[in-house]
Structure 1
Amino acid sequence: MSTPERPVASPCVNICALDDDDICTGCQRTVEEITRWSRMSNDERRTVLGLCHERAKASGLVWMIGKTPGR
């Protein structure tokens, strides 16, 4: 019998404020993603985490090591 997979942890960082596009400035999730998180499968959660990372990169909050911002 295999051990069930642990739930993927929420990216919440307790900085809960929405920007003009209704994206949380702390975790980079949409309102819909935040409200659905507890009902998502781990695969859905991993997809959302990837989207959060892309949003953070696009907004300049995260940049890749070895890359110069703006290039």
Structure 2
Amino acid sequence: MPNPSPLPLPAILSPCVGICRLDARGLCEGCYRTGDEIARWRSMSETERSHYMDVVLPARESV
């Protein structure tokens, strides 16, 4: 019996939580992305989005 093809990884969803206001630093109060990052999100590679979700945004949230 042949091995089945591995399933593709699901696309990384947006970190948006529906609180869409930029603070004095220019970061969204809900997801901690800049306006530019929000605009570019859909065109980012899966690797870049994963980096934001795992490293960049959690670091900003803790500040």
TM range (shorter): 0.7 to 0.9
Instruction: Report the equivalent of 1:51.
Output: 56
CA root-mean-square deviation: 1.1
Which runs of 4 or more aligned residues in structure 1 lie more than 4 Å from their structure 2 counterparts after TM superposition? none
Percentage identity across paired residues of the two chains? 40
| Number of equivalences | 58
- Structure with the bigger RCO (C-alpha within 8 Å, sep 6+) is 2
Equivalence map 1:11-30=2 (5 Å): 11-30=15-34
Which entry has the higher C-alpha Rg, 1 or 2?
2
Report the Cα offset of residue 18 of structure 1.
Answer: 0.2
Q: Name stretches of at least 5 consecutive residues in structure 2 with no aligned partner.
A: none
Q: TM-score, normalized by length of structure 2? A: 0.81
